[in-house]
Structure 1
């Protein structure tokens, strides 16, 4: 979660660090700070709150050409200035920034207390600074390595020492870290967004790798002091892709970008002649894919709901038994891995710690794992057997929208490939592709009527509770709609299968609790209508997301938003868009921070 950045070069470090932290805002944070060294003087500035508050206390004339910065998302200790990073040691010569959680910090702190180290914060991270001090004997790299060897948990650490001009030491274990290579200057950060403005050349550190860098060179080694040659990658994202342009918020921009991002996910991956998908990154032969007898998809949050949509699709079209597992549960459940089972890990950032650890646990048991990820070079993508990049482009708003759509697009292609190898005929494959290729045009039709969703948001945004109800392949979309409303508008919402309301949730129905029904013209249409009538009989308010031309729904629903007609398996692409817009406009009406909701982070890299 949080973010780190370091810089060494010839430019003003303070201003560059502040700009880099600004690019990391989307990851979520509650305080920020920088440490810059000038003439053996460690200059430390940190404040609770937004980066603008920190910027206001940093002098414009602050000198220094190397330093580190941090945005904190509180896990240990309250949100205040003292607990903000960077943290220093007793001498005031060492400063560190830390992403992650140190699980054994209590025992380490007791040891350091007995050695008369003075702690001033409530954080787990401060032990890193004091441990580094205790191991320091003139070599900062050695001290950081010795410190890391004692740490249990996840971490991405940057360390500087005033007696080592222009040097930054970084080490990672479970928390992402990249090196940015520029002309006579070096950057290091938790995210490519922090370095994109300065370079396109990056190196991804792996777990248990440590880097020592200055403005002219870097050295990467492992914990056994063995040097490691690293491959230089090129960032493909353009700077303008992370700017809002004419949109007031990133979330709205990214909802609208779905019309561009979905075709990008499909581009170059369709074989029209054979009516199938071409997915070279799977690193599995057709024979290996054909031998798959069962699939388990693991993910968290929005990615988990995308996974549940695909589970329906794979069973319906490819006739492969498919289950979904929350990554956080799968990792600790000692899963039984059977021969013939393929695992798929889904993560927008590719750094979601629960999903990454689930992948490692599965691989320890010999399971093949494919990754569905947006970020090229992310940990999950690198460690998996193969996979599919979703190519949604950078997603800055904390609440995921276009990444959900692109995860679906990528996995719809995977489903097509698996289905064509089994029971799907050539004409059925052609029909599938026809509907898939038309989805972005149909989303554009919905977006052209966004003002109607805005009117519904104004009408209903004062409600304290919502129910989101769907069935079949649209049930996970109802779950995702409820999540979006909770995330950005802070309104309590629950998603259910509409068939399940009579098994308990119907007790919640009253005129002040609106129900949003997803009721496209699929094979469950009449079943959903029956559930709507049950709600209406109890004076519940109903908003219906229905299909163009539906005339029955108007006799039941209080308000209706209609989406274009498509084949029933493709409705999740369309039913989710009004729900994304509804959450956005409700948040707007309630004056919430749409792009950076409270307590949330974009990339969840702590358990």
Structure 2
């Protein structure tokens, strides 16, 4: 959600900035812009639409040699305040007395008290040309610099006035050798080069120029020059952070031979699940020490679990609730983060607070954790894919999913690796609550089989592609599941609506007669996940209700139950242990959504109105 790139170098940085924006396109955006220090002026170009539209708008300036500056900032905007137009696109600028741009800024996040600041600035004579909350940042900095503060001190003074969240990049006409940045509640990293330095919302944006990064903490303000980086905390004290090497290669963020990132990431799941398991299980035992030195202590004290997450991560948490209560025998609550943070909640003694987030920067989830930590929380654990992210730093314990970069907005491999990580946590908790060594050994042996089961499920791709043709003219769909497969149905419905724009809803199959059955007719596809478990007979009765009303059934079954659905569109998986069913049964639903979206001609990797990392409320 929004993307920042900035650079200071001994070479022109325009191409670095543009390439960085392209690498951030997965986050979701509706306009883009760039500003470069050009000696005696700051040159800005903005465009509504894609980065390609920005490049086209800048072409004349490029040919005239007016975009060859060695200091610059760039941005992709996801509209919050004001429509997605050029006038609202970043960078925003503030003028000097001779009407030339005095400074330029880019901003992620939301300045909640911007209206008050804007009125104060208007009273000083500043004119506003956009509908955004961001423009107040540019004019406030201009006002502070005009009063005599250095650019660094001006940024420090400005952020002290802001309420809300921000990541900022700032350049000033009279400071050609400095790039200033700051962050609070919105991610920002510093890329370390040789005689050049960079900023970005995500390390992926800078992998073409560096693999070494500094991860800023909330409240930090930093100054980048050609020679180095200086970081100051919210108290104005100089701080030093380690330089972290990015562990994934540049190729992990490319599509390779695949048509879309989403398809590539679906096919990566057998391999990335191996990475999730690696070093955490032996042949027949969970290696708990791999979770970190505090893990055993926290697990020993855990009497209850509270899970907080959003979107796809919330669905993985719903699956974990079934596992934890069944295998560990302790109560587990799961709640959407945006609801949890704004209501009165009760945390019982001995609660392990688990957050789940692909990016580790999800604003609502991060805020929920911070709120919970104010109440003498026993301990916190995050399931996350990004080392060094805000949730990782805020949590007592972190389990990295090791899925590698996920570029497609609709999450696939992040979901399955979250499930695997949560199952490992469940086994650790179950150990302390009566899980026999033989039972643990059997679960571990089944986990060893999981990568191959996932690979086998991908061989159904061609058959699923044919089934997807039945959805090409549909506008609505129902997804059904029983027990632990209900969250899988929820995730399947979410994927279909996200990328194909078909309205899709999921229900527990037993709720069918309590309302959704009224929607069933020949034009309503009903997708059902139907493994061979103790609820199968109940599920069959629900499907008969659909058949009786002329509904069109699409059943994901295993080879022990497929015979019961011979008259329906059936996708057949190999038989597996019940503990693995939520993970493996997810794959056909991902492929179905993908192929339906391709048939409908939507933007699979960047669906409209959505962002990969939701860093604002």
Mapping for residues 216-231 of structure 1, pairs under 5 Å = 216-231=227-242
Partner Cα distance (1:518, 1:485) in 2: 15
Mapping for residues 436-447 of structure 1, pairs under 5 Å = 436-447=447-458
- Is the Cα contact below 8 Å between 1:587 and 1:594 reproduced in 2? yes
- Is the Cα contact below 8 Å between 1:37 and 1:64 reproduced in 2? yes
What displacement does 1:147 show? Answer: 1.2
**How many correspondences in the alignment?**
605
Partner Cα distance (1:498, 1:461) in 2: 25
The counterpart of 2:159, out of the listed 139, 148, 161, is: 148
Q: Secondary structure at the match of 1:110?
A: helix
Counterpart for residue 394 of structure 1: 405
Change (3 A) 1:280 1:190: same
Partner Cα distance (2:431, 2:486) in 1: 26
Q: Secondary structure at the match of 2:87?
A: coil
What displacement does 1:479 show? Answer: 0.4
- Is the Cα contact below 8 Å between 1:283 and 1:385 reproduced in 2? no
Q: Secondary structure at the match of 2:239?
A: coil
What displacement does 1:421 show? Answer: 2.6
Counterpart for residue 22 of structure 1: 22
RMSD value, Cα: 1.2
2:383 aligned with 1:383, yes or no? no
Change (3 A) 1:285 1:463: closer
What displacement does 1:440 show? Answer: 1.3
Counterpart for residue 348 of structure 2: 338
Counterpart for residue 116 of structure 1: 125
Change (3 A) 1:223 1:318: closer
Partner Cα distance (1:200, 1:460) in 2: 43
- Is the Cα contact below 8 Å between 1:9 and 1:66 reproduced in 2? yes
Partner Cα distance (1:285, 1:598) in 2: 40
Counterpart for residue 12 of structure 1: 12
- Is the Cα contact below 8 Å between 2:288 and 2:295 reproduced in 1? no
The counterpart of 1:67, out of the listed 69, 72, 82, is: 72
The counterpart of 1:360, out of the listed 356, 370, 376, is: 370
Counterpart for residue 170 of structure 1: 181
Q: Secondary structure at the match of 1:69?
A: strand
Counterpart for residue 57 of structure 1: 57
Partner Cα distance (2:540, 2:221) in 1: 59
Mapping for residues 202-217 of structure 1, pairs under 5 Å = 202-217=213-228
Range 93-102 or range 228-237, more displaced: 228-237
Counterpart for residue 284 of structure 1: 294
Q: So what's the TM-score if we normalise by structure 2?
A: 0.96
What displacement does 1:281 show? Answer: 3.3
- Is the Cα contact below 8 Å between 1:470 and 1:496 reproduced in 2? yes
Mapping for residues 222-301 of structure 1, pairs under 5 Å = 222-272=233-283, 275-284=285-294, 286-301=296-311
Q: Runs of at least 4 residues of structure 1 off by over 4 A?
A: none
Partner Cα distance (2:585, 2:503) in 1: 20
- Is the Cα contact below 8 Å between 1:9 and 1:166 reproduced in 2? no
What displacement does 1:277 show? Answer: 3.5
Alpha-carbon displacement from aligned partner over 1:469-527 (angstroms, at most 9, x marks no partner): 00111110100000000110011000110111111111111111110011110111111
Range 525-534 or range 557-566, more displaced: 557-566
Counterpart for residue 534 of structure 1: 545
Counterpart for residue 583 of structure 1: 593
Partner Cα distance (1:218, 1:211) in 2: 7
Alpha-carbon displacement from aligned partner over 1:98-121 (angstroms, at most 9, x marks no partner): 000111111111111111111000
Range 430-439 or range 286-295, more displaced: 286-295
Counterpart for residue 327 of structure 1: 337
What displacement does 1:238 show? Answer: 0.5
What displacement does 1:461 show? Answer: 2.5
Q: Secondary structure at the match of 1:472?
A: coil
Counterpart for residue 561 of structure 1: 571
- Is the Cα contact below 8 Å between 1:32 and 1:70 reproduced in 2? yes
What displacement does 1:436 show? Answer: 1.2
Counterpart for residue 93 of structure 2: 88
Partner Cα distance (1:595, 1:226) in 2: 42
Partner Cα distance (1:311, 1:283) in 2: 25
Mapping for residues 427-442 of structure 1, pairs under 5 Å = 427-442=438-453
Partner Cα distance (1:6, 1:170) in 2: 9
- Is the Cα contact below 8 Å between 1:277 and 1:416 reproduced in 2? no
- Is the Cα contact below 8 Å between 1:181 and 1:201 reproduced in 2? yes
- Is the Cα contact below 8 Å between 1:516 and 1:544 reproduced in 2? yes
Partner Cα distance (1:597, 1:284) in 2: 40
Mapping for residues 410-559 of structure 1, pairs under 5 Å = 410-555=421-566, 557-559=567-569
- Is the Cα contact below 8 Å between 1:283 and 1:387 reproduced in 2? no
What displacement does 1:287 show? Answer: 4.9
Q: Secondary structure at the match of 1:276?
A: coil
- Is the Cα contact below 8 Å between 2:48 and 2:85 reproduced in 1? yes
Unaligned runs of 5+ residues in structure 1 are: none
Partner Cα distance (1:271, 1:236) in 2: 24
Range 434-443 or range 65-74, more displaced: 434-443
- Is the Cα contact below 8 Å between 2:283 and 2:445 reproduced in 1? no
Partner Cα distance (2:22, 2:462) in 1: 31
Counterpart for residue 44 of structure 2: 44
Counterpart for residue 600 of structure 1: 610
- Is the Cα contact below 8 Å between 2:298 and 2:352 reproduced in 1? no
Partner Cα distance (1:420, 1:277) in 2: 12
- Is the Cα contact below 8 Å between 1:7 and 1:68 reproduced in 2? yes
2:141 aligned with 1:132, yes or no? yes
Q: So what's the TM-score if we normalise by structure 1?
A: 0.98
Counterpart for residue 408 of structure 1: 419
Counterpart for residue 185 of structure 1: 196
